[in-house]
Amino acid sequence: MTGPAVRSTLFHIAFLLAAVAPRAEAQRGWADLARRFDAFAEAAGVVGGSALLVRKGEVVARHHFGFADRATKRRVGDRTIYHWASVTKTLTAVAVLQLRDRGRLTLDDRITRWVPELREVHDPGGAVDSITVAMLLSHSSGLQTPTWPWSRGESWEPFEPTTWAQLVAMMPYQRLHFRSYVGATPYHLAADRSHGYRRQGDSLTDGGADFDPGITIPNGGWNAPVEDVARYLGFLTGFPADSASRARHAGVLSRRTLEEMW
């Protein structure tokens, strides 16, 4: 959390799956953890963050630190929306398993069956046609960056657009490509969005409330309050275990499939 160019943006969350313990003892332990959380955040230069204590799918304690927006002094609270980065990949995996369970694809399918354009990817580790859906889900595909189309497959070649239309299309949009013209979206959640911050030495840069990961949304585009993530954690772990919760979870993905994922 410290050091040059490290993103000390709104320190995300400590999820604790608590063992059964006397309530008074648990409360004392939580108070101590909250103090340690604040001390760590202060020392690391974190602007704001949250911690939850989750027991069997239920939030039993919560703690917030610092600011969602330092400039306006808007403090972190229950409704503060965080950017969950690569946790998003688990949502994409759930969607893929939904398609598998519905018979739309298999985990042994070659990825080029569904995205033929991937044959253009430069893959020094072997043929892209040999990569399966299961390999992508388990991070064992062997793909490494950069993985752009290459002219003749030489490892030293830079990316080269393959058609004149691509070259022409790129030229007028270069200066505007990474600039959002819609602001923090959706509008009704703007007041709950947390800002991202980058600390470099003594300098703190405010990245604003809107972070658009572009094409990487399926592996890094989830934004949500911590209690939404707690509910998602309950879905993944099978809690709460009452019949209504089980039925609701099964409507997303069966318990058997979730256990297969782990």
Residue 49 lies in a domain: no
Beta pairing, strands 197-200 & 15-17: unpaired
92 or 167: which carries more pLDDT confidence?
92
Residue 197, helix vs strand vs coil: strand
Residue-by-residue DSSP string for 31-72:
HHHHHHHHHHHHHHT--EEEEEEEETTEEEEEEEEEEEETTT
Residue 190 — very low, low, confident or very high, per pLDDT cuts 50/70/90?
A: confident
Residue 232 lies in a domain: yes
The pLDDT tens digits of the residues spanning 79-138 come to: 999 999 999 999 999 999 999 999 999 999 999 999 998 887 777 666 789 999 999 999
Residue 34 lies in a domain: no
Residue 72 lies in a domain: no
Residue 197 lies in a domain: yes
Residue 123 is part of which domain span? 81-146+160-175+186-261
Q: How many domains are contained in the chain? A: 1
Residue 153 — very low, low, confident or very high, per pLDDT cuts 50/70/90?
A: low
Residue 212 lies in a domain: yes
The pLDDT tens digits of the residues spanning 29-48 come to: 899 999 999 999 999 999 99
Cα 15 to the center of its chain, rounded Å: 15
CB 234 within 8 A of CB 54: yes
What pLDDT is stored for residue 5 in this prediction? 35
